[in-house]
Amino acid sequence: MVPYISDVLFDEPQGRPNSLIQFGLSLTFLCIFVYAWSVGDVGDVLWVLFLIVGTALSGIAESLPKNRRQAAVVLRFAGILVLLILLLSVFLRFDFLIGG
């Protein structure tokens, strides 16, 4: 398991197909957030901001040129860190992050 994670994390950026999927997910999450904001229930979906940022960082990392491996690693790690903070906030009861 560990070699596979390091292979994915430190690999060259994959290019357009993966980045388009991740940017599409980020845009979908953004639409969910804007809809909740327009309805007035934005306090209940603040956690979606973490999904927006995490997927956008991963999409940016994958859209970089092949010779920008170090920047892609940093962006991937930042995206994973943002998503891990969201996951940990559920277990550690960070109510200000997930609303409640």
Tokens of 40: 């007035």
In the structure encoding, which two tokens stand for residue 74, read together?
Answer: 């940093």
pLDDT tens track for 70-89: 888 888 899 989 989 888 88
Query: Which band of pLDDT confidence, cut at 50, 70 and 90, is reported for residue 100?
Result: low
DSSP 40: T
Q: Work out the number of other CB atoms within 10 angstroms of the CB of residue 26.
A: 20
**79 within 8 A of 61, measured Cβ to Cβ:** yes
pLDDT band at 9 (very low <50, low <70, confident <90, very high): low
Q: Hey, what are 26's tokens?
A: 């980020």
Q: What is the pLDDT of residue 29?
A: 93
Q: Between 89 and 95, where is the model more confident?
A: 89
pLDDT tens-digit map of 13-39? 777 788 899 899 999 999 999 999 898
Q: pLDDT exceeding 90 applies to what percent of the chain?
A: 25
**Token pair of 97 as six digits:** 């992050």
Packing angle, helices 48-63 and 16-39, rounded to 10: 160
**CA dist 61 to 10, 43, 49, 100, Å?**
11, 30, 18, 32
**Considering the entire predicted model, what is its pTM?**
0.80
